[in-house]
Structure 1
Amino acid sequence: MKVVTIASDLEHPFLTRLLMPSCEAVGLNLVVLHATKKSFRPRDKRAVLTDYLARSAAPDELVMFTDAYDTLFIRGEEYVRKTHAGLSHPVVFSAERNSWPMGHIGLAIQKDPPVRPYPYLNSGGFIGLAGDILALCAKYPEPPSEHFPLLRHLRTHDFDTDKVYGFSDQYYWTLVQLLEPDMVGLDNGAALFENFAPAVANFCELPRWTSDYRANGKQAASYRREHARLQARLQSPSGAAQIHFAASLTKAVVLDLLDEGQLPSWLVGVLRH
């Protein structure tokens, strides 16, 4: 089994101070793929990953993908293998509370009622056999938006979701998962992946919070609110293997908590193992 991540900045503090040390501590084999492209975009992750899997992974090798700049691990391979084997889908994605990046459009194309507490796909963590992941990417070389009547209808009104949301691999994988419900599942209960980003009614709130933080630093109301929320949430240990702080402000708070020595013992214990 391999854990694979993609990074254009090999010196990023979250990668070097949290993700890499945590994988070493729990005995996970982390492969860091260096994406040198200056204009690297989130949607490019799929091309880099599939190229690596086609060249360097056997079809039956278990692969766990993780984002590079906002994740860490607290459990190792034995737990990951056992938990994955107990799930009902060959390929399983992390899930979150927010419908991103499509917002309300993403809600409208969901076929079933939301499964709480984490109803919506998050592409910052997923697991499956290399051959299964490659087969999905080969079947859907582009975002399969033409399969969704609502998205076709929006296109007739000059709202092309491929152009608006195509920057994100999460858009691509959300559509694929909805078309392949027997093959691709979501970790709605955070058995393997837990997303610690704040839940928001309107996803536009998060960029505003980030702008507030950039303008006002730690004195920003958004920073103080997120600092308090995250400290309270971290009092309860996670039962997952991967922890994902999937928002810019959340990630900044975690790095500050690390510097301030305020991360809880269940996280610090892994990092200092």
Structure 2
Amino acid sequence: MANRKNLNPEDSPRAAFGERLRRLREERGWNQEALSERMGYSASHISGVETGARPATAKFAASADKALGTGDALTRQWDAIANPAILDGFPAYIVQEGRAVEIRLFELGIIPGLLQSHAYAAAINGGAVQRGAITEQQAQERLALLAKRQRALERPSPPQLYAVLDESCIRQRVGGVKVMPEALDHLLDIARRPNTVIQVAPFALGERRSFYKPVTLVTLPDRAQVSYAESAHSGQLQRDTRYVAPLFTAYHQLQAEALSQADSMAMIEQVRKEIS
């Protein structure tokens, strides 16, 4: 134990993967040799991954999930690290999203990714391809990653999901009349789930709006809270309570000012009729 290396998951996505692998192994009372026997990788290989000296692979992550009985948790984390089509900073957020017991979203202009229908998400990424912002391959990688994130909301104990959507999210016609009605139907279906609350912040809210840019707030199993926000080129995960706590307060204020879920669903249904 004297040579045990301290791991800081905030150092890098690779470090976060290694720290999680070590933590899961030790929770089961296994040493590296015991995990080696179950995975088919050498103990030194596992040690290298845990300390960040050696990168994991898709095969390694899948083998670790199987050995540890963690479903696809480590595979999803590896996908987030390896996926080159996503913003710097986003892999670190993906790790926290996968652990979340509560997720709070505020979005402007478009329906948030976790609430998007496949056709809607494809239209968003198709537009990015047309602008030359990403390649076709990167668009497919983004869609695959989004599908995995969405499936996590359907696990046996899904997180409680709160979403406040600016009215522009439901009125901006992404993909035209072939895509948008289905996207709104999908949004209404999600709103009917017992673990989901969707509200619309109407244009009339004006200066009472708490946020003027998208924000994501996550509560973890130990009740720790983190926030995530994006700029044009990077994403930032914030853990410092001094910065995160005021965001939660502002979010609760926004929920109080926004339409109730019943009135929000009525507005979404009305917009759905107008598009049809």
Structure richer in helix, relative to its length: 2
User: Shorter chain as normaliser: what TM range?
Assistant: under 0.3
Choose 1 or 2 for highest CA Rg. Answer: 2
TM norm structure 1: 0.26
Greater relative contact order (Cα < 8 A, sep 6+) = 1
TM norm structure 2: 0.26
